Amino acid sequence: SSECISSCCFSKDSDFVSDDECAENHKRIQYELDDLVRDLEFVKEDAMDTKYKSDEWRLLIDSSKTSLKCEHNSHCSS
């Protein structure tokens, strides 16, 4: 009788990631996004710089989505 976790996080290479590690990853990504938002505020005046930061920010969001996906355990019935 294997335990069923309703939703679990997997890293990019599909290894199981513990809840704690998952929370840490999400927290880290949130910090990084917050930093970039702050950067965007600072460079608002400079259009090219702002565009560069926006692209960087968008890339970070995209990569965070692919590196951390939460999904139901396949062996668990919903």
Question: pLDDT at residue 49 above 70?
Answer: no
Do residues 40 and 57 touch, judged by C-beta distance below 8 A? yes
Q: Is the dihedral of CA 43, 48, 53, 54 positive or negative?
A: positive
Nearest to 29 by CA among 9, 7, 50, 1: 9
Residue 76 banded pLDDT, cuts 50, 70, 90: very low
3 state DSSP class of 15: coil
Cα–Cα distance for residue pair 1/26, rounded to 1 Å: 30
| 62-72 mean pLDDT | 57
What pLDDT is attached to residue 45? 64
Does this model's pTM top 0.85?
no
Host H or E run for residue 64: helix 47-67
What pLDDT is attached to residue 17? 64
Position with higher pLDDT, 32 vs 51? 32
Q: What is the overall mean pLDDT for the chain?
A: 66
